[in-house]
Structure 1
Amino acid sequence: MARHYSETEVVAILEDLDPARLHAFVAAHVVTPVVTSQGHAFTEADVARLQLLCDLSDIYGLPTDALPMVMSLIDQLNTARGDMRALIQAVASEPDDVRGRIRRSVRQLRIVTLGQG
């Protein structure tokens, strides 16, 4: 079972995070903790996401109201990466002739796409 952290634990783990900032991130829906009878519970992925949010805000000066859009783009990119990994594995498991047809098709599509630009 995945480990969950309380609000107090998360604030203690992340030095750039205080309770007000944590509540602002939750209110902005850029992190979605599990709601329990003891309050919010955060997964390790939530903790990593909160660190990224702090970094985006502090290091890169990203305003809080821009965080939902940026995090949505990051989530989409991560999903696309996972899809691409799965597709590569699926193609790799196909016979040589199928992989060759896919390779030629991809090459042709790239030429067509580049030719239209």
Structure 2
Amino acid sequence: MLGERDVVATVQRVALRDLRFWVREGWVKPAESERGPVFDDLDIARVRLLCDLRKDMSLPSEAVPVVLSLLDQIHGLRRELRDLAGAVDAQPEDIRHAIIKAFRVD
């Protein structure tokens, strides 16, 4: 877990004022501690993504929530598909084959 200044030192492309703005906007949602916000690995990845979107791709602020929402939905769907694949894999072989066959029917 990193504090704000540690995040800025780790992700050198982000300024402290940008990080604080992104947190206020809810684009990054760090945990709160007695000393202020603390950022985990997922938060750091989100900060790096925001650097790519805002600085490298010049994405306007108005578009950021839409893009983040879509990316969050994609990650959620990937997680659900992984869980579904695990549930299918846990089934007996004949059930797995029936599911695969039903899935491949157009």
Give TM-score scaled by structure 2 length: 0.92
**1:32 is matched with which residue?**
29
Larger radius of gyration: 1
Structure 2 SS opposite 1:35 = strand
Q: Which amino acid aligns with 1:14?
A: V
Deviation at 1:10, TM superposition (A): 0.6
**2:74 is matched with which residue?**
77
2:15 to 14, 18, 23: 18
Structure 2 SS opposite 1:5 = coil
2:6 to 4, 9, 12: 9
1:44 to 41, 46, 49: 41
Deviation at 1:65, TM superposition (A): 2.1
Deviation at 1:104, TM superposition (A): 2.0
**2:60 is matched with which residue?**
63
33-42 vs 46-55, which deviates more? 33-42
99-108 vs 43-52, which deviates more? 99-108
Deviations 1:2-48 (CA, angstroms, capped at 9, x unpaired): xx111111111111111110111111111111122211111111011
Q: Which amino acid aligns with 1:57?
A: R
Deviation at 1:89, TM superposition (A): 1.6
Structure 2 SS opposite 1:30 = coil
Give TM-score scaled by structure 1 length: 0.84
1:105 to 98, 102, 105: 102
Q: CA RMSD in A?
A: 1.2
Deviation at 1:54, TM superposition (A): 0.5
Structure 2 SS opposite 1:65 = coil
Unaligned stretches of 5+ in structure 2? none
Superposed structure 1 runs of 4+ greater than 2 Å apart:
none
1:54 is aligned to 2:51: yes
Structure 1 SS opposite 2:37 = strand
